[in-house]
Amino acid sequence: MATRYTRDHEWIRLEGGVAVMGITPYAQEQLGDIVFVDLPAVGKKLEKGGEAAVVESVKAASEVYAPISGEVVEVNSALTDEPGKVNESADGDGWFLKLKPSNPAEIDGLMDEAAYEAYLETI
């Protein structure tokens, strides 16, 4: 499935029955050098739009919101020791967590890449 995006600059994509999420390259660029990522516990249930993680950079701390509802089934523990992976590959190795969606249809309400690119031009 193609990657989908939120207005808060999170991305998500379904891989099998699991949704992988993180922050967009635009978001990491705005944050600057990322120094810490606070990820949720495996098993935590997230609500769409609720706080999923916190990312801290040399500039600020920012909440990362869940694009869809679901249960955390895996976190990217590599970010504990190497939070800079988010700067290097925000939409690749810098992923934050994997969710088991409780309502996979929620992803249909998110922007596709073309819509997200158009949105970026308005900010």
Q: What is the CATH number of the domain that holds 77?
A: 2.40.50.100
Question: Is 87 part of a structural domain of the chain?
Answer: yes
Question: Is 119 part of a structural domain of the chain?
Answer: no
Question: Is 63 part of a structural domain of the chain?
Answer: yes
Please determine, for residue 87, whether its predicted confidence score (pLDDT) is greater than 90: yes
Q: What is the pLDDT of residue 118?
A: 98
- In 3-123, the DSSP E strands lie at 4-5, 10-15, 18-23, 34-38, 45-46, 51-57, 61-65, 70-75, 97-101
Question: Is 51 part of a structural domain of the chain?
Answer: yes
Question: Is 85 part of a structural domain of the chain?
Answer: yes
Question: Is 20 part of a structural domain of the chain?
Answer: yes
Question: What total number of domains does the chain contain?
Answer: 1
Question: Is 110 part of a structural domain of the chain?
Answer: no
Q: What is the pLDDT of residue 13?
A: 96
Q: Which domain holds residue 49?
A: 4-103
What percentage of the chain exceeds 70 in pLDDT? 99
Please determine, for residue 69, whether its predicted confidence score (pLDDT) is greater than 90: yes
Contact by Cβ (8 Å): 73, 98: yes
- d(CA 53, CA 50) in angstroms, rounded, equals 9
**The pTM is what?**
0.96
What is the Cα Rg of the chain in Å? 13
Token match 């967590």: residue? 97
